[in-house]
Amino acid sequence: MNSYYDVIIVGGGPGGSACAIELSAIGLSVLVLEKAAYPRDKICGDALSADVINQLQKLKVNLMPPFLNLAEAMPSFGVRFYSPSGEALDVPFTEKKSGHAPGYIITRNDFDAFLASEVKKCKEVEVLENMEVEHIHYHSEGYDIKCKKQIFHSRFLVGADGAHSIVKRHLMPEKLDRKHHCAGVRVYYENISDMHPGQFIELHFYKELMPGYFWIFPLPGNKANVGLGILSDTVSKKKINLSKLFIELIEGHPNLKSRFHKARPLETPKGYGLPLGSKKRKLSGDSFILIGDAAGLIDPFTGEGIGNAIRSGRIAAKWIIKAFEMRKFDAGFIENYDREVYDKMWTELRISRQLQNLLKYPWLFNLVVRKAGKNDALRALLSSMLTELDLKKELIRPSFYLKLLFGNSILARK
């Protein structure tokens, strides 16, 4: 087995796989080191937003056609929001004439195995499973990357190894900042009653979780991904036991109790961290780049990170290719990657951070849901806001809520 590569990518989740695809067949030798063997679980809500679908199509190999053949992917057509007061509001996703659903839910077991199978078809890319990176050493020629029984060497290194990234811990350690981190638990269930007929995902914004939410995302075979996420700062201050709170909600909350009466959990609650993109971080250094969760790019309002993992994998590949073309591997040059990531993502991350802050005022959420329940134009506007950034900006303007409080006519004009 070869042990020297131009680029080594640590981690074969969505970010690492996207980066590997983009780096394939351009004359660079690329190795993906993945600690697990596919198919492997990853604790997640399993929801693929329109943004993820968009990113799949933008990859060098358009992954949408093979993705649409996957029977394991459940198409989804909207969101059902539950306000803190318990009222429900259906907001369909805006459908484009694309021949596929606006969103999907698919277990990460299946989705990541699909991505990896596509990576394995790529020229000049090797994938090694069951290969956990344990130590990283940087020197003037690049990196020595130590796994249990083998050492690999590379000129360039990509940290795509998720929320507990060993690459980040070795090359850019950062103390956990609980204000910019979320804790989540997930349980797969079967037989939950009264699931939405249009396979809408459900987001339940209850007071005890804010700024965070409880979710139910439908999966094929009458199964569902159920979970909750809360800001780690709140978890720590209020000493919340997430698994206990999860069970208390499904056994006691009036919106959930009867629906879970005949439901069967398929596992015990499983927890994992979400590094939120609500603050800017340094994302690169001499001959290395962090992408996806290792870079902390999860949307602080929705908790979605798959789209930004793929997007950052694509941007990383672009700058790695330039670095090899120009033989420039120093931190000053590689920092162009950080700049492009934040140029492309910061506006949305900042808006999401402000929306997350608004969740401190549950009455605002109640107001929006109550008004939108009676107003088709407002519902249509909210639907567009889910995908259109310029419209989403409205949601963080006080004038939006003043209009809701004092007059529907202005919203009807939108």
Question: If binding is defined by CB under 6 A, does position 359 make contact with ligand FAD?
Answer: no
From residue 271 to residue 300, the character string flagging contacts with ligand FAD as x (rule: CB under 6 A) and all else as - is -x-x-----------------xxx---x--
d(CA 242, CA 236): 11
Strands 133-139 and 288-290: unpaired
- Are the CB atoms for 224 and 186 separated by under 8 Å? no
Single out the residue of 16, 142, 211, 296 in contact with ligand FAD (rule: CB under 6 A).
16
Three-state secondary structure readout of 161-204? CCCCCHHHHHHCCCCCCHHHEEEEEEEEEECCCCCCCCCCEEEE
Single out the residue of 26, 36, 195, 377 in contact with ligand FAD (rule: CB under 6 A).
36
d(CA 283, CA 290): 5
- Are the CB atoms for 84 and 210 separated by under 8 Å? yes
Question: If binding is defined by CB under 6 A, does position 12 make contact with ligand FAD?
Answer: yes
Question: Which H or E element spans position 219?
Answer: strand 213-219
Residue 128 Cβ, how far from ligand FAD at the closest point, in Å?
Answer: 9
d(CA 315, CA 229): 28
Question: If binding is defined by CB under 6 A, does position 44 make contact with ligand FAD?
Answer: yes
Question: If binding is defined by CB under 6 A, does position 46 make contact with ligand FAD?
Answer: yes
Question: If binding is defined by CB under 6 A, does position 227 make contact with ligand FAD?
Answer: yes
CA distances in angstroms from 326 to 130, 322, 323, 377, 398, listed in the order given: 34, 6, 5, 53, 48
- Burial (Cβ within 10 Å: 0-12, 13-18, ≥19) of residue 163: middle
Question: If binding is defined by CB under 6 A, does position 84 make contact with ligand FAD?
Answer: no
Single out the residue of 6, 9, 11, 111 in contact with ligand FAD (rule: CB under 6 A).
11
Site for ligand FAD in 151-210 (CB under 6 A): 160-162, 166, 184, 186
Residue 329 Cβ, how far from ligand FAD at the closest point, in Å?
Answer: 22
Question: If binding is defined by CB under 6 A, does position 303 make contact with ligand FAD?
Answer: yes
Residue 249 Cβ, how far from ligand FAD at the closest point, in Å?
Answer: 15
Question: If binding is defined by CB under 6 A, does position 269 make contact with ligand FAD?
Answer: no
Single out the residue of 187, 192, 309, 320 in contact with ligand FAD (rule: CB under 6 A).
309
Question: If binding is defined by CB under 6 A, does position 394 make contact with ligand FAD?
Answer: no
Which residues bind to ligand FAD, rule: CB under 6 A? 10-16, 33-36, 42-47, 132-133, 160-162, 166, 184, 186, 227, 229, 272, 274, 292-294, 298, 303-307, 309
